């Protein structure tokens, strides 16, 4: 599959501070990719270099095979970019603003109205917000206007920096559905702190910390890399000490990391952790078949993207070479 974005050893300084250091990754055409990192990790700096808004001190970035440094105006035609602070003109109506932006993007007069209408329709602005003044819009609708702006000119690549920041759960779901509608039509790079949304929407994830790429891959690939421990949830009647001793008959690495009373007495819910990746729920069913345990449920707990994010960033903090 053709690469839409290639970053090769990008390095950027602000004064004496190195914001990013030898950042490299590729994003294939049509992928939806999540770009994650703590505050100050280098996410926005990297995205702005890709968009031609900042120049790297060293390294190369390519958009659709074209060098950003050598041909910034050409590469910008391939990109729709929504920055974190989504700068809109508050006193314009939605359609006026998008028409103004279409003119700035040099969309021909013959196609301008058609492109604005298509972008508003895709972002569900036509029926409810087309003639509204932007300053009267909710945060969710302001984000929709920003995404509609990105879509003008039919770019190959959409880059959005924190598009769901400050939104309520209903608005987040609506923006996720909008992003899903772009799947296969455009390449989408999505920066966000809302990790469940990234996991739900993205084909792959790139994690940056302290200016370095510390992990990248699909959720499945990252789980295989970072799942050093397996976790299970057991619902049964038992005292922690008694249960722990019994579980260690199965494997000495097992430990209880959480215990909570169940609403349905007399059961308790125990979360256990083991380094033995060969263990399955069936092993616990066999071990705890004694009626005195009254085993009610065994549930394997998959590693979440939040777990992966925390593990990858903690490892990078411990790496003294950074």
DSSP secondary structure string for all residues of 157-225: EEEEESTTTT--HHHHHHHHHHHHTTTTTSEEEEE-S-HHHHHHH-SEEEEEETTEEEEEE-HHHHHHH
**Residue 55 and residue 35: Cα distance in Å, rounded?**
20
What is the structure's pLDDT at 137? 94
| Domains of the chain (ranges, CATH numbers) | 3-78+155-225 (3.40.50.300), 88-148 (no CATH), 228-301 (3.30.70.260)
* pLDDT attached to residue 78: 94
Residues forming beta bridges with residue 271, ordered by sequence position: 233, 258
Q: What does residue 138 show for φ and ψ, rounded to 5 degrees?
A: -70, 165
Q: What is the pLDDT of residue 320?
A: 47
Low-confidence ranges of the chain (pLDDT < 50): 320
What's the confidence (pLDDT) of residue 246? 92
Residue 18: closest CA among 41, 47, 51: 41
- Could you tell me if 36 and 208 are in contact, meaning their C-beta atoms sit under 8 angstroms apart? yes
Q: pLDDT value at position 315?
A: 67
> How confident is the model at residue 319, as a pLDDT?
59
For residue 147, give the H/E element and its range: helix 139-151
């Amino acid at each position: 599959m053709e690469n839409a974005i290639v970053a090769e050893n990008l390095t950027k300084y602000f004064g004496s501070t190195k914001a990013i250091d030898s950042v490299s990754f590729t994003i294939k055409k049509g992928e939806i990719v999540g770009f994650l990192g703590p505050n100050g990790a280098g996410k926005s700096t990297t995205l702005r270099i890709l968009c031609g808004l900042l120049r790297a001190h060293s390294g190369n970035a390519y958009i659709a095979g074209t060098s950003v440094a050598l041909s910034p105006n050409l590469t910008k035609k391939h990109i729709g970019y929504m920055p974190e602070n989504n700068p809109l003109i508050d006193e314009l109506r939605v359609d006026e603003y998008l028409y103004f932006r279409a003119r700035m993007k040099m969309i021909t007069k013959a196609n301008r109205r058609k492109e604005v209408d298509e972008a508003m329709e895709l972002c569900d602005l036509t029926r409810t917000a087309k003639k509204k003044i932007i300053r009267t819009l909710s945060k969710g609708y302001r984000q929709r206007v920003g995404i509609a702006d990105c879509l003008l000119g039919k770019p190959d690549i959409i880059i959005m920096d924190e598009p769901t920041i400050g939104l309520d759960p209903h608005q987040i779901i609506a923006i996720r559905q909008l992003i899903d509608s772009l799947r296969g039509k455009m390449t989408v790079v999505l920066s966000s702190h809302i990790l469940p949304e990234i996991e739900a929407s993205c084909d792959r994830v790139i994690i940056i910390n302290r200016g370095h790429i510390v992990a990248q891959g699909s959720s499945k690939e990252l789980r295989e890399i970072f799942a050093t421990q397996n976790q299970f949830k057991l619902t049964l009647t038992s005292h922690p000490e008694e249960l722990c001793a019994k579980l260690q008959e199965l494997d000495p690495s097992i430990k209880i990391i959480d215990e909570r009373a169940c609403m349905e007495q007399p059961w308790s819910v125990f979360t256990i952790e083991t380094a033995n990746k060969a263990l399955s729920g069936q092993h616990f069913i066999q071990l705890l078949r004694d009626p005195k345990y009254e085993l009610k449920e065994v549930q394997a707990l998959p590693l979440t993207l939040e777990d992966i994010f925390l593990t990858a960033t903690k490892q990078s903090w411990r790496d003294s070479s950074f």
